[in-house]
Each structure stands twice: as structure tokens, then as C-alpha cells.
Chain A
């Protein structure tokens, strides 16, 4: 409750362009934004660039934020969009548009104890994926977007998203299986 009230004050301060409030907002959300940026980008340097751009966008656009309660999801959306823009700026055709359909069973289960694998290693596996696969896997598997929503964001077809998702998943599966 106290955090909510504090957040409201911080947002009000940011809307008034107070540097102190901007710093407070950054301190509250920089770790979350950094975590997202890391799994969407290839390495720490790119992630830091994304974090910078994300916070600049947040400070510039916070006037359009209506409901302070949705601040977290608003920041997440901005971060996602910034990541996509960043990848696009690096390579405009990172989404492989022509890809043949794959008929893989999504329901297969893995009976290995994955909890032994450290998060840093799992993150490294994702970062190693090609940009297109990584983006689709992040959007669909972790951030919970549907194929259709993802297709809209990436400006391609839903079936394309689906096939890329399967390929990303297969690649990850291979990496995890080979991890000792």
C-alpha cells in the first residue's frame, strides 16, 4: 500500500519533469527493465542501450499515462516495444518471413530435472538464438502474447510466428539436453 502511494507521488513528480522523481522511478524499475532487455537482446551492451532508450521514452511519455495502477505493465509494454525497435534498427529483416511449416508436437514433456540449470545459463541459451527466434520465443513463451498478437507486433503472419516459435523451442531443447 505504501509502495503504491509512493509510486503515485513518483509518477506525479515525473509528469512535472522533476529529476529527483525520475531517479526514483529508475531505481524502482531499472532491474526489471534490464531483465527484459537481456533476454530480448544478444548481450549486455545491447541490453544497456535498450534500458537507456526505454527510460528516456518512459520519462518523455509519462504524461500520457492515465492510470498509475497500470504503471508496471505500461513500463513492460514500452520495454518490449523498445526491444523490438532496437532489433529492427540493427537488422530490419530479422524476422525470417519465408519458412516452411513444421508439425512438431508441442505437448512433449521433458523428464529431466531442469531446476539444476542456473538462470544465467538459460538466459545465455536464449541470447544465443537468432534474433527472430529469440523475439518470438520471448513474446509467446515468456510475455504471454498469442501468435496473432505477436504476428501483429512483428508485422508478419500468425503461422510464420508459430513455425518460428517451434524452431526456437527445438533449438533451446537441444541446448538444454546437451547441457551437463
Chain B
């Protein structure tokens, strides 16, 4: 049998195993290096669990804090809604004022009074008509003022009406440019502003002959590019006005087939909410007012 040293040692020692003293495991466990490692491991675990606990507590606290926050957010939303309704109320006030101002105002007080009678048909308006029959113009103004005062007390919308800000008043002035704003006219203008909400409500209570879209997209794609009401009924007279949210008058049409293409002075206006007022007379001579907000999406 022939063998060299390498073969001999490889054969004997490649799989060589030696018995191990029983206490070697304990020595490993007592080894300072190993002890240090175990301590580090413990600290690591401690830090990890502490981190988990902190995260858990943090999440709980965040949820707990968020709860009242969401309440306030809801409150904020309510406030927003309130502001919106106020805005709407303002708009409606604006609308009524414009309605009034767009009526023929070059005439004297008596005619305004009769106009009011036609629109509202309320006993208050009748009393105005009676009072305007007196020849003294100053007296008429004073009586209309008192009537306005009484209506202020009676009408539930008076608070919102009083809130109508300067912009609305300005719009009234601009739209009543045709007439010179005498004290009498101002009085007569303020009177219907407070009295007509009741009348306009009765107008909306009347069944509308129009179906009016609440949004349109003047982007030139041929779909819903023009804002106009749709009706199958016979209309005697028709007037549509579009206003900016601040009351600026930007569009008017007396042709029912001529709608708004979203342009003002030749350029497309911004996306947003606009106000429309459609005043029309049906063939039986009844006057209607439809108004509301429309959303312009570009």
C-alpha cells in the first residue's frame, strides 16, 4: 500500500472530529465578548419595543387629538355653508334689486308703486299705492320709508337683506344709471329691496316653464358650449342676465335662442360660479323670475 503524506493527512483529517469538553458551552456563555453582544441585543430589543410603544402611543394620541380637530373642521364646514347661504341671500337680494332697477324707472313714484303692486300683490304694496296717490312727493317718500320699515320688521329675510354689502349697492347704482338718484328714488329703491324677497319667493314657487342647466363648458367641443334655458312653452317676453359673483353685469339677452357662450368683452371668463336671472312673461301675461347659480367649467 503506497501513500504520500498529503493523502494520509487528507484522509485522516478532512472529516476529523474531536470530542469537546462539557464545560465549553458554559465558557462560551461566560465569554465577555458574547456577554457584551447579548447586552447589546437586549438594549436593541428594548429600544425596538420602546419605539413600537412610542409609535403606538403616538398613534393613539394623534387619533385622540384628531377627533376634536375634525369637530372643528366640521364647524368650519358649517360656517362655510353659512357663508355660502349668506352669499346666496346676497345674490338674491342683488337679483331683486336688479329686477327692480331694470324695471322702467324713468317714471315717477306712482308708477313704481304700481309696478310693485303688480309684482308682489301684497297688502303692503297696496298701502304704498294708496299713499302714493297723495300729490306731496316728500310725503310719499316718507310713507314708503315707513312701509319699508314695517316690511323690514315683517319679512324674515330682512337681516340678510341688511347685510347686502357695498358691491351690491354699487351694482344697483350702476344699473340705475339711467335715472338720477334723488332721495325719493333711493327710498323707493331700498323699499323694494326689502319687500321683494317675499315676492321673488312667490315667483320661485310658481312652476317654472324653463329647464335651466346648472353648469356648462364653453370649451368649443360642441357639447354644452352655450348656456341657455330650454323650454317648450310659449313665451311672450324674455330677458336673461348673467352676473359675476361680485354683481358685475356681463351678459344680457332678450332672445330665447341666444344664449351665453361664456365670453365677456370678447374673451372667455374664468371658471367659477356665475349668477343668472331670467325674467319672462308667459302667454297668459304672468311674469316669472328664474334665478340661480351656474357653474362655468372651462
Contacts and interface: CB of A to CB of B under 8 A. Distances in A.
Interface of B is mostly: helix
B28 A26 contact: yes
Interface residues of A, number: 40
Given A23-B25, A52-B28, A111-B2, A122 B9 contact: yes
A119 interface: yes
A37 to B, nearest CB: 8
A52 B6 contact: no
B29 to A, nearest CB: 9
A51 B2 contact: no
A142 B19 contact: no
B20 to A, nearest CB: 5
Interface string B2-36: 11111011101110111111001101100101100
A111 B8 CA distance: 12
Given A35-B13, A39-B13, A110 B4 contact: yes
A26 B9 contact: no
Contacts of B17: 31-32, 34-35
Interface string A123-151: 10010000000000100011010000000
Contact of A34 (B13, B20, B34, B41): B20
Contacts of A113: 1
Given A35-B13, A141-B5, A48 B27 contact: yes
A52 B14 CA distance: 21
Given A109-B4, A114-B3, A115-B1, A141 B10 contact: yes
Given A35-B18, A38-B18, A60-B37, A55 B28 contact: yes
A34 B3 CA distance: 26
A122 B24 contact: no
Contacts of B33: 53, 56
Contacts of A85: none
Contact of B19 (A23, A31, A122, A176): A31
B23 to A, nearest CB: 9
A179 B3 CA distance: 16
Contacts of B9: 122, 126, 137, 141-142, 172
A169 interface: yes
B28 to A, nearest CB: 5
Interface string A44-60: 00011001110110011
Contact of A123 (B1, B13, B20): B13
B12 A119 contact: yes
Contacts of A23: 25
Nearest to B1: A113
A35 B16 contact: yes
A17 B34 CA distance: 12
A17 B40 CA distance: 12
Contacts of A51: 20, 24
Interface string B131-172: 000000000000000000000000000000000000000000
A30 interface: yes
Contacts of B6: 141, 169
Most buried by A among B1, B18, B25, B33: B18
A36 B10 CA distance: 12
Contacts of B34: 56, 59
A175 to B, nearest CB: 10
Contacts of B12: 119, 122
A107 to B, nearest CB: 8
A17 B28 contact: no
Interface in A3-61: 17, 23, 26, 30-32, 34-36, 38-39, 47-48, 51-53, 55-56, 59-60
Interface of A: 17, 23, 26, 30-32, 34-36, 38-39, 47-48, 51-53, 55-56, 59-60, 107-111, 113-115, 119, 122-123, 126, 137, 141-142, 144, 169, 172-173, 176
Shortest 5 CB-CB contacts between residues of A and residues of B: A31-B17, A35-B16, A34-B18, A35-B18, A35-B17
